[in-house]
Amino acid sequence: MFFFPFRVDLNFNRFPLLTILVCLVCIYVFIQQGVSSKNIVAATKSFCEKKHDRIFWIVIKKVSMVNNSESTQNGRKINELFENECNDVFYNIHTSKHPDAVIDKYIERLDANAIRKDAINIIHIRGMLEEKLREFRLSGVEQDLTTQIMYEPHSYNLKNMITAAFAHADWDHLLGNLFFFFAFAASIEMILGMLRYVFIFSSLAVGTHLTYSLVMVNINEAAATLGLSGVVMGMIGVFVYLMPKVNIRCFLWLIVFFKVVRIPAWLLAVVYIGWDIYSLVFSDAQSGTNFVVHIAGATIGFGLGLIFLTDRKEELMEEMRIYQETEKKRLNIEE
């Protein structure tokens, strides 16, 4: 089944400039993330193609867990296989905010008994990796853009709380977020105006990441996060507070059946938030989705509306009442 919202049943005369700008910035940042990643891949390839001593290649063989049978599989030459493994090793270490931790993971994969039988021990392997990493970075390779702008939960970095919202992992992640974001955020911008919209957006970006940090405070290996989904859920929360009964047009596709259906905003929110809560509590395979940020976004968004937008909600209800009466009169005149 394929199901997603695409339009709010409201008509405004204003133009959602900031919402469109956010979407364009997200697309631009994602393209730059891809460029950065390709440049680093090219740099690792160039580095691994250089002549290195025999000890270096033994280290690569150890940490990549390559054995002799694998090295000649499908007619591939052993040096080509090692170069590919070398690419992966240095890409993974270089693009991590914690390269020492990545080196530790490579070391943990080694068989300690086998190491003791060889001329190279763990200390030498670690030293070699650290030395070659320094050499690699001195070659002029750029820093990974995604690593620079994503949010590490233990950092409490305010700048990255904002920049992480504009970064995405892949095209599916990006387009899915932007579709939902535009469906709700455009209406929020036109209802609240630019200044309050910027306040809501910034509060959601900071609030969702701060909540994630607090939830993960005792989890040492908490993953870094990126994406607009926390802000998206927050916009849904604000929308539900302001206009819970307004219908959302959704596209429903089930095998060969498809139809546009109208669903009240509050019901749509219950479905999304309920699914996120269920997935957070019961799902073992979460596919990298940050359900904590999703739930935090919806809660913070509704809370922001409750605290700061009570007057605007009353004004909006009056505007909608007048609009509905005007439409009824217009229809009666036309009849």
pLDDT tens per residue across span 298-319:
999 999 999 999 998 988 888 7
Task: Specify the residue for token string 């270490």.
Answer: 93
CB within 8 Å of 284: residues ≥ 6 apart: none
Q: Residue 144 carries which DSSP code?
A: P
pLDDT at 82 over 90: no
* Mean pLDDT value of segment 97-120: 73
pLDDT tens per residue across span 15-31:
899 999 999 999 999 99
According to CATH, what is the number of the domain 2-33+151-334? 1.20.1540.10
**Category of 227 on φ-ψ map: left (φ > 0), alpha (ψ -120 to 50) or beta:** left
Question: Could you tell me the pTM of the whole model?
Answer: 0.85
pLDDT at 274 over 70: yes
Where exactly are the structural domains of the chain?
2-33+151-334, 36-149
d(CA 299, CA 308): 14
3-state secondary structure of 7: strand
3-state secondary structure of 299: helix
pLDDT at 136 over 80: yes
Poorest-pLDDT segment among 29-38, 190-199, 211-220, 273-282: 273-282
* Mean pLDDT value of segment 155-160: 96
Q: What dihedral do alpha carbons 105, 106, 112, 113 form, nearest 10°?
A: 140
Q: If we measure between CA atoms, which residue out of 207, 195, 267 comes closest to residue 231?
A: 207
